[in-house]
A and B are shown apart, each in its own frame.
Chain A
Amino acid sequence: MSLAGSEPLAISPHLHREITTARIMWGVTACLLPAGLWGVWQFGPRALLVVLVALLAALAGELLVGLLRSRPTVRDGSAFLTGLLVGYLLPPGVPLYVPAAASLFGILVVKGSFGGLGNNWMNPAIAGTVFAFFSWSAARRGWIAPLAWSPPAGASWAEPLAFVKSAALTSGAHGPIELLASAGYPVSRFSQALGGWLHGALGLGIDAHYLDLLFGCVPGSIGEVSPLLLGAGSVYLFRTGIITWHVPASLGGTFLVLVAVFGGLPYGAGFFAGNPVFHLLSGSLALSALYMACDPATSPMTAKGKLIFGAGVGALGALLRLCGSAPDGLPLAIILMNIATPLINGLTGPGRFGGGSGRPRA
């Protein structure tokens, strides 16, 4: 996806639309804002500071690349989006050099060095964050208890995914939610009340932990915690066609099926005993499936390619989440499949007109 100003991109005829790179980038940014504001509200000014540092570093990096190439690209919004995503992927309590280094690595090394937007071979935000995760163990900690918890709990509770990962083997629980409940993992008063009402009025027995996960009343990375708001924001993206259903559907489908089949194994519960709802609502699944995996520069172009790409991310993500050392494997799965994107494009591209059944190879 090369969008360089007003240059013609292909042989005519062209269909002109009012869509530019900048418009797409700022659109996605706007859709991400509710989830970020929620994170800042729950985790306090410290979260805002982390996001701001990530944003400033990303913009500074883009400005520097623009100066070196004498082609200013800051205003297309892509660097702003990268910085925002870096901030969203980090826990609110990380040291401030972490967001700065992650943004700079993403913009300068992953994007700038390879020729700017469209030539980045990985999602720069995820690549930067993964770089920080592998460099500093401090980048993987720093949870802050959400405002919604009452009574206020200390900062000692890790995000649910990390919590169940470290405790799965030693506890007697048969699943993540049972584990949270038996360990006395705090619940917000709102979810408790809502759960009680659902039980009383509708006869639905829903554990309050599910509701906390859905609304984002748990410790976690700043922009990841609220799947509800992330999903709500993505409605606009679907409606305007900025993203299509292919990647989220195949990613989510593959991921949830694999988690349902194998998710019970860490608890000694055997096959087909996983808890897909917990994994759907926790960690970065919503942010990954709806926003980061759909990055046009690093995901395949054809519908078939998108389905393959999404299935790959879902499968690798489930594998890494259940068996990896890090609590959440989805960002890693995305950058792994980003590397495979040129290959998928080559294998799923349309055949030449009159060229027989042979497909052009990458």
Chain B
Amino acid sequence: MKGALRDNPVLALALGLCPSLAITTQAVNAIAMGVAVLLVLVCARLVSGLLDSVLLERSRAVVHILVVAILTTGVYEAMGSLFPALTRSLGIYVPLIAFNCLILDGTPGEARGVGRLALDALGMGIGFTLALLLIAVLREALGAGTITLFPLAGWSGVLRIPVLHDAPLRVMTMSVGAFLTLGYLRALFAWIELRRREGRT
């Protein structure tokens, strides 16, 4: 579970930056993206972990790619029919989950037991979701003065931040804002890590 915080894929390892910059304009996008990645990642680890025992060493990589691709297609189709508007706003980044999951899939083939591999993937997925959510909440709050969540029974799902909503820093919703937010969060993360290491020695 180290992937959730300490080895956070986005903030510590700088992996999966493309979706974390592109789709973090609204909190709901970040949650949807994060959960989709988490699902694909955990399922892919489970399936490939089980298949590895019956596969030749040299064919494993190909099978891993196939598994991730099939799972991503499934998630994409499911999202498309369940939340069509949300999937449309995420655009190409949902099919691209396949690519991200292959990168986040760390160390395939290392026999450490299917259960531990899946748990590791779960941590990674949670870390990815948290990082995306953090970036999206900061960007949306500063750049639009709102925080968009899921509409629930009569509630529109949009929180309004009083002062910022009237004159939001629109730059933060542009790509500049994505890079700025990511840069500062990564700096903060590196600083915390440095402090922790200094404290240990």
A interface residue numbers (CB < 8 A to B): 95, 97, 101, 109, 113, 131, 134-136, 138
Contacts and interface: CB of A to CB of B under 8 A. Distances in A.
A136 B174 contact: no
Nearest to A98: B167
A138 B171 contact: no
A109 B167 contact: no
Nearest to B170: A135
A131 B172 CA distance: 10
Contact of A134 (B167, B170, B184): B170
Interface string B34-52: 0000000000000000000
A196 B32 CA distance: 70
Contacts of B169: 101, 131, 135
A136 B180 contact: no
A109 B167 CA distance: 20
Contacts of A131: 169, 171
B168 interface: yes
Interface centre among B170, B172, B174, B184 (most CB of A within 10 A): B170
B170 A97 contact: no
B69 to A, nearest CB: 39
A135 B169 CA distance: 5
Interface in B159-201: 167-172, 174, 180, 184, 187
A134 B174 contact: yes
16 contacts: A95-B167, A97-B167, A101-B169, A109-B180, A113-B184, A113-B187, A131-B171, A134-B170, A134-B171, A135-B169, A135-B170, A135-B171, A135-B172, A136-B167, A136-B170, A138-B167
Contacts of A134: 170-171, 174
Nearest to B183: A113
Contacts of B172: 135
A113 B184 CA distance: 9
Interface residues of B, number: 10
Contacts of B168: 135
A101 B170 CA distance: 12
Contacts of B167: 95, 97, 136, 138
A222 to B, nearest CB: 21
A113 B187 CA distance: 10
Contacts of B170: 134-136
B116 to A, nearest CB: 40
Given A97-B167, A109-B180, 14 more contacts: A95-B167, A101-B169, A113-B184, A131-B169, A131-B171, A134-B170, A134-B171, A135-B168, A135-B169, A135-B170, A135-B171, A136-B167, A136-B170, A138-B167
Contacts of A138: 167
A136 B167 CA distance: 7
A131 B171 CA distance: 7
B72 to A, nearest CB: 35
A326 to B, nearest CB: 14
A121 to B, nearest CB: 13
Interface string B89-118: 000000000000000000000000000000
A347 B172 CA distance: 34
Contacts of A109: 180
A135 B184 CA distance: 19
A95 B163 CA distance: 14
A95 B184 CA distance: 28
Contacts of B174: 134
Contacts of B184: 113
Contacts of B171: 131, 134-135
**Across chains A and B, which 8 residue pairs bring their CB atoms closest together, nearest first?**
A135-B170, A135-B169, A135-B171, A134-B171, A131-B171, A136-B167, A134-B170, A97-B167
B170, B171, B184, most chain A CB atoms within 10 A:
B171
A131 B168 CA distance: 12
A129 B168 CA distance: 15
B163 to A, nearest CB: 9
A317 to B, nearest CB: 21
A35 to B, nearest CB: 28
Nearest to B172: A135
B71 to A, nearest CB: 40
A141 B165 CA distance: 20
Nearest to B180: A109
Contacts of B187: 113
Contacts of A101: 169
B103 to A, nearest CB: 28
B162 to A, nearest CB: 14
